[in-house]
Structure 1
Amino acid sequence: MEGYIRKAETLIEALPYIREFTGKTVVVKYGGAAMKDDGRMASFAQDIVLLQYVGIRPVVVHGGGPQIDRMLERLSIPTRRAEGLRVTSPEAMEVVEMVLGGTVNQRIVALINTFGGKAVGLCGKDGRLILASKSVAKSRETGEPLDLGLVGDVKEVRPELLRALDADGFVPVIAPIGAGEGGEAYNINGDTAAAAVAAAVSAEKFILLTDVAGVLDPKGGRISTMTGAEAESAIRSGAITGGMIPKVECGLAALRGGVRKVHVLDGRVPHSVLLEIFTDAGIGTEIVRAARGAGAE
Structure 2
Amino acid sequence: MTLEREAASNVAKVLSEALPYIRRYVGKTLVIKYGGNAMENDDLKTGFARDIVLMKAVGIHPVVVHGGGPQIGDLLKRLSIESHFIDGMRVTDSQTMDVVEMVLGGHVNKDIVNLINRHGGSAIGLTGKDAGLIQAKKMVVKRQTPEMTTPEIIDFGHVGEVTGINTDLLNMLTKGDFIPVIAPIGVGPNGESYNINADFVAGKVAEALKAEKLMLLTNIAGLMDKQGQVLTGLTTAQVDGLIEDGTIYGGMLPKIRCALEAVQGGVTTAHIVDGRVPNAVLLEIFTDTGVGTLISNSKPAA
TM-score interval for Structure 1 and Structure 2 normalised by the shorter chain: over 0.9
Question: What one-letter code is carried by the residue in structure 2 that aligns with 1:106?
Answer: K
- Whole-Å Cα distance in 1 between the matches of residues 116 and 86 of structure 2? 34
Shift of 1:144: 2.4
Q: Work out which of the residue numbers 257, 263, 278 in structure 2 matches 1:270.
A: 278
- Whole-Å Cα distance in 2 between the matches of residues 65 and 225 of structure 1? 30
- Whole-Å Cα distance in 2 between the matches of residues 268 and 51 of structure 1? 19
- Alignment partner, residue 119 of structure 2: 115
Shift of 1:13: 1.4
Q: CA RMSD in A?
A: 1.4
Larger CA deviation: 252-261 vs 2-11: 2-11
- Alignment partner, residue 41 of structure 2: 37
| Partner-residue secondary structure (3-state), 1:138 | strand
- Whole-Å Cα distance in 2 between the matches of residues 204 and 173 of structure 1? 18
Distance 1:140 1:203, change over 3 A: farther
- Whole-Å Cα distance in 1 between the matches of residues 280 and 249 of structure 2? 23
Does 2:226 align with 1:218? yes
Structure 1, unaligned runs of 5 or more:
none
Q: Is the 8 A contact 1:27 1:205 kept in 2?
A: yes
- Alignment partner, residue 32 of structure 2: 28
Q: Deviations over 1:190-235 (max 9, x none)?
A: 1111100000011000000010000000111100221111111211
- Alignment partner, residue 85 of structure 2: 81
- Whole-Å Cα distance in 2 between the matches of residues 139 and 81 of structure 1? 15
Q: Work out which of the residue numbers 87, 111, 136 in structure 1 matches 2:140.
A: 136
- Alignment partner, residue 288 of structure 1: 296
Larger radius of gyration: 2
Shift of 1:78: 1.3
- Alignment partner, residue 154 of structure 1: 162
- Whole-Å Cα distance in 2 between the matches of residues 233 and 86 of structure 1? 30
Does 2:130 align with 1:126? yes
- Alignment partner, residue 264 of structure 2: 256
Shift of 1:7: 1.0
Q: Is the 8 A contact 1:83 1:139 kept in 2?
A: no
Q: Deviations over 1:42-89 (max 9, x none)?
A: 111111011101101000000000000000000011111112211001
- Whole-Å Cα distance in 2 between the matches of residues 13 and 200 of structure 1? 31
TM alignment of 1:213-252, pairs within 5 A? 213-252=221-260
Does 2:202 align with 1:198? no
| Partner-residue secondary structure (3-state), 2:141 | coil
Larger CA deviation: 222-231 vs 139-148: 139-148
- Alignment partner, residue 179 of structure 2: 171
- Alignment partner, residue 208 of structure 1: 216
TM-score (structure 1 length as normaliser)? 0.96
Corresponding residue pairs, total: 294
Question: What one-letter code is carried by the residue in structure 2 that aligns with 1:15?
Answer: L
Structure 2, unaligned runs of 5 or more:
none
| Partner-residue secondary structure (3-state), 1:156 | strand
Q: Work out which of the residue numbers 57, 60, 63 in structure 2 matches 1:59.
A: 63
Larger CA deviation: 42-51 vs 4-13: 4-13
Moved over 4 A (4+): 140-143
Identity of aligned residues (%): 52
